[in-house]
Chains A and B, each alone.
Chain A
């Protein structure tokens, strides 16, 4: 298509560029500020975006080392940030793996098999997915309190409980994978079944190898959602050493104990890897988010 542009379009393009850049500066300001603050001396320092006397004090503490200032005072790390990050990653990896495993088989049945109440189950899954877990926290707490009496690794203040609770949120992922399965031609599997393969074999050896890309997307999506999970972990985890990053990070900014500089270093340290993973995978994540939500 050939459009004819008036001469004034040149200025409009420049104006758009300038506008976008100004907007980006505004958007990035808070993030740039945090990076800058993490290099400032002390917890109440103010100053320009480029710190005048950059110090690694907060970074030492975030990485778990003692920091010895020039006057000889020693500061200890206030919180075990790396341990929290490790807890978060551990919980997120295990639960994303379980979610992937269980929602793949579920999605296969919804995409390919016929059974009673299929559409009712699918629709009610979509509806129940909308209920925020915050509202049933009392019940969840009671549930894990009871379970813990009989199965110790599923009790209150265990990572097992947080992982188990995350298994309630598989509907979104089932929808995403189901949509992908339906876009793959059935004839290969049908041919295999005619040749004597079982349903499970058709799924395991034909459909699954074709679906690796969507499985990667769902894994990453589940991983990020689990890393960011706050309400359930905040009620189920009690011990400082058991906390996830999402629950622990707020302890830096209590009124009585305001560790702004230490928080900044910890935030950059733990937020950066997650941000990079997200940016790297954003194309697939966005596709998954929109496809799973709207299309049948």
Chain B
């Protein structure tokens, strides 16, 4: 009985919390997030409340984690791909409008220097007119004064305390913004950290939603296709807001040569990098596995241990170690090469060398995995096949191509595809070793000759000054489709039984 009370209490608390979170997110116009939590927390309450969904209670946490942290971000990313979300179009329409409407400009003839004095708990603002005349406010408190204008009068005496330093004025900036001083005929407000001036709002909102620039006398209308306020000639006001732009990001990849050329180059490199990595690691791994399989070799434990060492060292450390060793001036690899052949290759500035280096490092990192896989699978090949071939006088090469490979390829293929997909998206290697350098010349997006598609999208989104999240998301969507079809193929090939 008491167990039941605890259960229903926990369910009740979850429901309340879910209710709060969903409403709060909805109120902030975060519809996608509100929907996510409505679905996840709603199904949690149903599954743990209903007896019929008993089995689902066991899988709910895992599925929930996957929905929130894998599937939702995936869908959200695909959604961003159809918008112009970027550093220049970051905010919502309402926030952009509010920001523009809060801008002010100077209407009066000149700016007036001011000093502010603190006489706890009150403040006095003193203005010094250009002709040297001093005006001052009566002592006031920010909280009590509110929006009421302060009358300034000719100063009577020099205040006792020192004026506040600029550092304190910065601290008071937000409060000072709200203060309006009046000389009787003009109202003055803050115009910078040292001056007051006769300020008025730069923009006035019209009834049809457009905004009127009081200084230039021009009308700016919101354009919901581009996400900017524009005047008649199409001049845009910054900042803009995020709008749906349909397939434009995808079209840009296809039509804009400064994006298309690097994209194609990076795509070809990505495929070759992943393919060659699989080929090299498999060849090396298979060779070593074969040698370790040979019954006449002693000390297998030692060899095995030493050979999987590259797999055991955390990748982020060994990649950085290679970054140092390949350094052009004081890297050990160039010292050895100079001693032996008198050459000093510049591994990080030449595209071909940088790619070679990536393949060397990635083979070093990846062959132990292939070796371990092959060792397991070689065990499963019946020995009598080799005995029979020995009778026929077959060479080791014959054995490899006639027996070993045909026997291995079926169980190995799904793992090779998985390895291809992993290296296709091997972000950590690129990010830590070359960062994509050297750059492709003539690209408008940050694109490097060693960039893989993943690191390319990462750089478009996070490293470029434009932070073009929309374009990055569009490219990410293309990769999603590719990875998705690879893993479907994999599922088919490995004949997963569930």
Q: Are A and B subunits of one complex?
A: yes
Chain A residues close to B by CB (< 8 Å):
1, 3, 5, 9, 13, 16-17, 19-20, 23-24, 27-28, 30-31, 33-34, 37, 44, 46, 102-103, 105-106, 108-110, 113-115, 118-119, 121-123, 125-140, 142-143, 146, 150, 164-165, 167-171, 174, 199, 224, 227-228, 230-231, 234-235, 245-246, 249-250, 252-253, 260, 263-264, 267, 270-271, 274-275, 278-279, 282, 286, 289-290, 293-294, 296
Would you give 22 A-B contacts (Cβ < 8 Å), ordered by A? A9-B296, A23-B288, A24-B307, A30-B322, A33-B321, A46-B330, A106-B58, A119-B498, A125-B63, A130-B487, A131-B480, A132-B425, A135-B425, A135-B457, A138-B472, A143-B69, A143-B72, A168-B68, A231-B458, A260-B327, A278-B311, A289-B369
CB distance from A292 to the nearest CB of B (A): 11
CB distance from B348 to the nearest CB of A (A): 10
Determine the distance from Cα of A275 to Cα of B314 in the docked complex, in whole angstroms. Answer: 7
CB distance from B369 to the nearest CB of A (A): 8
Residues of B contacting A9 with CB < 8 Å?
Answer: 296
A249 with B76: CB separation less than 8 A = no
A131 with B74: CB separation less than 8 A = yes
Q: Which of A13, A133, A252, A294 makes the CB contact (< 8 A) with B415?
A: A294
Q: Which of A19, A103, A130, A146 makes the CB contact (< 8 A) with B483?
A: A130
B320 with A252: CB separation less than 8 A = yes
Determine the distance from Cα of A130 to Cα of B383 in the docked complex, in whole angstroms. Answer: 36
Q: Which of B288, B314, B487, B496 makes the CB contact (< 8 A) with A271?
A: B314
Instruction: Identify which of residues 390-436 in chain B touch chain A, using a CB-to-CB cut-off of 8 Å.
Output: 390, 411, 414-415, 418, 421, 425, 427-428, 431-432
Q: Which of A106, A234, A275 makes the CB contact (< 8 A) with B61?
A: A106
Residues of B contacting A129 with CB < 8 Å?
Answer: 70
Residues of B contacting A122 with CB < 8 Å?
Answer: 498
Determine the distance from Cα of A59 to Cα of B364 in the docked complex, in whole angstroms. Answer: 27
Residue among B317, B458, B461 with most chain A CB within 10 A:
B317
Residues of A contacting B296 with CB < 8 Å?
Answer: 5, 9, 13
CB distance from A46 to the nearest CB of B (A): 6
Determine the distance from Cα of A231 to Cα of B314 in the docked complex, in whole angstroms. Answer: 15
B386 closest partner in A (C-beta): A3
CB of B41 within 8 A of chain A? no
Residues of B contacting A1 with CB < 8 Å?
Answer: 383, 387
Determine the distance from Cα of A243 to Cα of B256 in the docked complex, in whole angstroms. Answer: 39
- List 20 other contacts, CB 8 Å, given A134-B458, A143-B68, A264-B321: A3-B390, A23-B288, A27-B364, A37-B332, A123-B498, A126-B491, A127-B487, A127-B491, A129-B70, A131-B484, A135-B77, A135-B476, A138-B461, A150-B20, A164-B69, A228-B314, A275-B312, A275-B313, A290-B372, A296-B498
A263 with B487: CB separation less than 8 A = no
CB distance from B247 to the nearest CB of A (A): 19
CB of B45 within 8 A of chain A? no
Known A105-B58, A168-B70, A290-B373; contact A138-B469, beta-carbon cutoff 8 A: yes
Q: Which of A5, A130, A174 makes the CB contact (< 8 A) with B421?
A: A130
Residues of A contacting B390 with CB < 8 Å?
Answer: 3
Residues of A contacting B479 with CB < 8 Å?
Answer: 135
Determine the distance from Cα of A114 to Cα of B296 in the docked complex, in whole angstroms. Answer: 51
Residues of A contacting B314 with CB < 8 Å?
Answer: 224, 227-228, 246, 271, 274-275
A134 with B425: CB separation less than 8 A = yes
CB of B172 within 8 A of chain A? no
Residues of A contacting B71 with CB < 8 Å?
Answer: 128
Determine the distance from Cα of A245 to Cα of B369 in the docked complex, in whole angstroms. Answer: 24
CB distance from A141 to the nearest CB of B (A): 9
Residues of B contacting A20 with CB < 8 Å?
Answer: 288, 291, 297, 303
Q: Is the interface of B mostly helix, strand, loop or mixed?
A: helix
Determine the distance from Cα of A121 to Cα of B322 in the docked complex, in whole angstroms. Answer: 41
B472 closest partner in A (C-beta): A138
Known A132-B483, A296-B496; contact A228-B306, beta-carbon cutoff 8 A: no
Residues of A contacting B158 with CB < 8 Å?
Answer: none
Determine the distance from Cα of A28 to Cα of B280 in the docked complex, in whole angstroms. Answer: 19
Binary contact track B299-312/A, C-beta < 8 Å → 1, others 0: 00001011111111
CB of B473 within 8 A of chain A? yes
B320 with A16: CB separation less than 8 A = no
Known A102-B65, A122-B498, A249-B317; contact A294-B411, beta-carbon cutoff 8 A: yes
A198 closest partner in B (C-beta): B54
Determine the distance from Cα of A5 to Cα of B330 in the docked complex, in whole angstroms. Answer: 50
Determine the distance from Cα of A224 to Cα of B438 in the docked complex, in whole angstroms. Answer: 32
A260 with B62: CB separation less than 8 A = no
Q: Which of A44, A121, A125, A250 makes the CB contact (< 8 A) with B432?
A: A250
CB distance from B285 to the nearest CB of A (A): 12
Determine the distance from Cα of A242 to Cα of B59 in the docked complex, in whole angstroms. Answer: 32
A31 with B313: CB separation less than 8 A = yes
Residues of A contacting B469 with CB < 8 Å?
Answer: 138
Q: Which of A109, A169, A290 makes the CB contact (< 8 A) with B58?
A: A109
B462 with A143: CB separation less than 8 A = no
B55 with A231: CB separation less than 8 A = no
A105 with B77: CB separation less than 8 A = no
A293 with B415: CB separation less than 8 A = yes
Residues of B contacting A31 with CB < 8 Å?
Answer: 309, 313, 318, 321
Residues of B contacting A143 with CB < 8 Å?
Answer: 33, 68-69, 72-73, 76
Q: Which of A3, A138, A271 makes the CB contact (< 8 A) with B80?
A: A138
A146 with B62: CB separation less than 8 A = no
Known A138-B461, A140-B69, A228-B316; contact A286-B372, beta-carbon cutoff 8 A: yes
B487 with A146: CB separation less than 8 A = no
B55 with A279: CB separation less than 8 A = no
Determine the distance from Cα of A110 to Cα of B55 in the docked complex, in whole angstroms. Answer: 9
Known A132-B427, A167-B65, A294-B411; contact A27-B322, beta-carbon cutoff 8 A: no
Residues of B contacting A103 with CB < 8 Å?
Answer: 62
CB of B388 within 8 A of chain A? no
CB distance from B305 to the nearest CB of A (A): 7
Q: Which of B59, B66, B307 makes the CB contact (< 8 A) with A109?
A: B59
